[in-house]
Amino acid sequence: MKKIIFPFLILLFTALSLNAQHWTGSISSDWNNSANWSAWPLNGDNITIDPLTYSGIAASPVISSASVFTPDKITIQNGAVLGIQNNLSTGDDINILGTGTQVNISGGIINVAPGNNGRFIISDGAAVNMSNGTLNADQRLLVELGGIFTLNGGQVNVGEVLALSDGNIDGSSLFNMSGGTVTTGVELAFENELGLYFPTFNMSAGTLTVNGDVTWFGTAPGSGAARLISTGGNVAITGNVLNMPASTMNLYIHAGGTAAIGISGTLIDMNQAADTLLQSGNSSITLNGTNSWNNDGTVLSEANTFFSGNSTLTGTGSYVFHNLTVSTLRSLTHTAPATITITGDFMNNGTFNAGSNGVIFAGAVPQTIGGSSSTAFHNLTADHSSTGITLNAAQSVSGTLTLMNGILFTSATNLLTLADNATSTAGSDSSYVNGPMKKTGNDAFVFPTGKNGKWRRLAMAAPLNTAAEFTVEYFDNGHPATGPLTAPLTRISTQEYWSVEQSVTNDPYHVELYWEDASMSGISCSDLTMAHWDGTAWTGIASTPSGTCSGSGNGILSADTLIASNGAFTFGSTAVTTGISSAEAKEKPMQIYPNPASSAGDLIISVPFSIERIEIRDLSGRIVLQRDELSSGRLQLNNALSPGMYCIIVNGRTQQSAQQLIIR
């Protein structure tokens, strides 16, 4: 863009040229009274309003009725004050110069050199205050060298460029907008060529429309960061947002409060490491059209970002979004950097193209991953510090699922699927998948499942077929089916189980069950076995435990054979002990006398705890005799049992024990 620094000496020379008239204020503040001028201005005369030329009462001029003449150039300087309440047109620029100089616009239509590239210039600490009316600058509105424009109401229309540049000893140039409308025809420009300044467009209400680009450009010794700040109102940018190449000034945008910023150009270019875009409050930034967002700096949003066009993210900087939405029939392509971060909700109603990059969910409030479209993530990381991340639509991961912190909540409808060759970290007590998850392909895989604060994994060896699909879910309660049990299985855990469903293929598979806390899972490795529910009965699976079988120790129970059907898996025990008995019961095992026994006789049962219930089960697991709340360990059989082998199980309030019983 063009250089916009205004040479003060040339302005002053022009203002004092032979055809210039100046305000004297001899009798009043009436602009249209010839007695207040050095000579009655003719159309095309240059006008100077300067306290150095005042005479009489030196009243500041006020245009209370439409100006009866059309001056050429107007210069207001050295602390002069002009009030505009009605219409004024010029043939050339209006220049407001110097600290203390003011123009107060409360009505009328001001046309600055229409058709003649007119410029409205506020410079050297001068100020313009506008509450109503219309200001039309044919070419440019320049706020430079510490100038201030305050817009509380009315309309400002700029044919080409609204520019803010540099500062002075009193501070940086400022456009402060709390109402009204501003429309530019080509560009909103920020420039700095003089030093460390922060030219600022600060907006709390109203409407800003830029029919073109918003640009930042600094040249040495200019530095600092020009600022576009909106805490309310609406900003519409039809072009690009650019920090120009080789600029010595940083780009800074802040959308806060209820501000809404829409960008429809093809490029957002934040090419400096210190370029910054911030969002806060309930603000929104919406990207329309087909565009690329290059960020080598910092994007930090605590509000709402909408991708309502076809957008591509690039750059080496940091993207942190809060609520991110991809609109229907629109796309967001993540080309670079390697990761973006979401601290709120991710809503995909269109297409998300992850490439080989990742999304980190790192919120401090409950998060959701949803929308009307299923999202295909490449790498997905949970690093959530609140109650968790809920899937409100089916999602998939083709790279790595990284569970650092936070729970992923899924359901049969809103399923998490890991593709062939995808991997997952192990998870932990603070990060796992709560609900079903699916793994496809022929990879060995450990499902990082859990529920209600319990992290419990299930592993599978590599399936034979790349088309294999297994869905696994952990439950922190006993399986609804408590029997029948196929011998030699005598008992199953009433605390937990995993469901396993194979689809597409029907290949035999290998299972391993993890315990993360032996006491919580009731593990006793001396008689531990894997139990499998195939839909009709529980069957013991020959298996080998490894790990620590007491206290808070962890370990793995690995099946020794392949399983050929869907169903459920849990920890089980064989006949002599249950695998989930108490430490005290192991030290003092249950004693039965006589054993073998007669079906017509009595049994004397001795256990190291108070008896609440006694069960006798046949080899199928069916309860054939039960007695509750016994006052002693004597049980009368009364010919209730046929000769054969049984399992007798004694339950206390917190303990239990089991042993084989033979009836002759």
Residue pair 254/281 in contact (Cβ under 8 Å)? The answer is no
Q: Are 517 and 447 members of one domain?
A: yes
Task: For residue 397, give the amino acid letter.
Answer: V
**0.85 surpassed by pTM:** no
What is the per-residue pLDDT for 637? 79
Residue pair 321/342 in contact (Cβ under 8 Å)? The answer is yes
Q: Are 573 and 454 members of one domain?
A: yes
The residue range of the domain holding 652 is 587-663
Rg (CA), the chain: 40
Residue 23 CB contacts under 8 Å (≥ 6 apart), including other chains: 36, 37, 38, 47, 48, 49, 50, 53, 54, 61, 80
What is the per-residue pLDDT for 463? 93
The DSSP bridge pattern shows strands 119-123 and 94-97 to be parallel
Task: Provide the CATH number for the domain around residue 645.
Answer: 2.60.40.3080
DSSP 166-214: -EETTEE-EEEESSSEEEESSEEEEEE-SSB---EEEESSSEEEESSEE
C-alpha atoms less than 13 angstroms from C-alpha of 364 in its C-beta half-sphere: 1
DSSP 503-563: ES----B-EEEEES-HHHHT--TTSEEEEEE-SS-EEEE-EEEEE--STT--EEEEESS-B
Q: Does residue 448 belong to any structural domain of this protein?
A: yes
Give the closest residue to 493 by CA, choosing from 457, 454, 532, 465: 532
Q: How far is CA 16 from CA 58, 508, 629, in A?
A: 19, 99, 114
Identify the segments of the chain with pLDDT beneath 70. Answer: 1-19, 575-589, 619-621, 629-632, 653-654
Of the three residues 580, 598, 619, the one that is the final residue of a domain is 580
**Could you read off the pLDDT of 414-471 as tens digits, one per residue?**
999 999 999 999 999 999 999 999 999 999 999 999 999 999 999 999 998 999 999 9
C-alpha atoms less than 13 angstroms from C-alpha of 80 in its C-beta half-sphere: 28
Q: Are 575 and 619 members of one domain?
A: no
Q: Does residue 567 belong to any structural domain of this protein?
A: yes
Residue pair 437/459 in contact (Cβ under 8 Å)? The answer is no
Residue found under tokens 């993890």: 514
As a 3-state breakdown, the chain gives helix, strand, coil percent values, each rounded to 5, of: 5, 50, 50
Residue pair 162/135 in contact (Cβ under 8 Å)? The answer is no
Residue pair 179/153 in contact (Cβ under 8 Å)? The answer is yes
Q: Are 456 and 572 members of one domain?
A: yes
**Could you read off the pLDDT of 231-255 as tens digits, one per residue?**
999 999 999 999 999 999 999 999 9
The DSSP bridge pattern shows strands 213-218 and 187-192 to be parallel
Of the three residues 529, 551, 580, the one that is the final residue of a domain is 580
The span from the CA of 140 to the CA of 121, in Å, is 8
Q: Provide φ and ψ at 185, rounded to 5°.
A: -85, -25
Q: Are 474 and 534 members of one domain?
A: yes
Q: Does residue 63 belong to any structural domain of this protein?
A: no
Structural domains counted in the chain: 2
Q: Provide φ and ψ at 190, rounded to 5°.
A: -115, 130
What is the per-residue pLDDT for 56? 83
Q: Are 506 and 604 members of one domain?
A: no
The span from the CA of 506 to the CA of 563, in Å, is 10
Residue found under tokens 């949803």: 370
Q: Does residue 259 belong to any structural domain of this protein?
A: no
Task: Provide the CATH number for the domain around residue 448.
Answer: 2.60.220
Of the three residues 580, 600, 625, the one that is the final residue of a domain is 580
Maximum Cα–Cα distance across the chain: 137
Q: Are 620 and 563 members of one domain?
A: no
Q: Does residue 106 belong to any structural domain of this protein?
A: no
Q: Are 531 and 654 members of one domain?
A: no
Q: Are 457 and 575 members of one domain?
A: yes
Q: Does residue 246 belong to any structural domain of this protein?
A: no
What is the per-residue pLDDT for 6? 41
The DSSP bridge pattern shows strands 437-440 and 469-475 to be antiparallel
Strand partners, 13: none
The DSSP bridge pattern shows strands 656-663 and 331-334 to be unpaired
Residue pair 237/260 in contact (Cβ under 8 Å)? The answer is no
Strands (E), 258-378: 260-263, 267-270, 276-279, 284-287, 290-295, 298-301, 304-307, 310-314, 318-321, 323-326, 331-334, 339-342, 346-348, 351-353, 358-361, 367-370, 375-377
Q: Does residue 552 belong to any structural domain of this protein?
A: yes
Q: Does residue 289 belong to any structural domain of this protein?
A: no
Q: Are 493 and 458 members of one domain?
A: yes
Give the closest residue to 173 by CA, choosing from 181, 165, 162: 165
Q: Are 521 and 554 members of one domain?
A: yes
What is the per-residue pLDDT for 597? 85
Cis peptide bond prior to 596, omega within 30° of 0: yes
Residue 400 CB contacts under 8 Å (≥ 6 apart), including other chains: 358, 379, 380, 422, 423, 424, 425
Q: Are 483 and 562 members of one domain?
A: yes
Would you call 385 helix, strand, or coil by DSSP?
coil
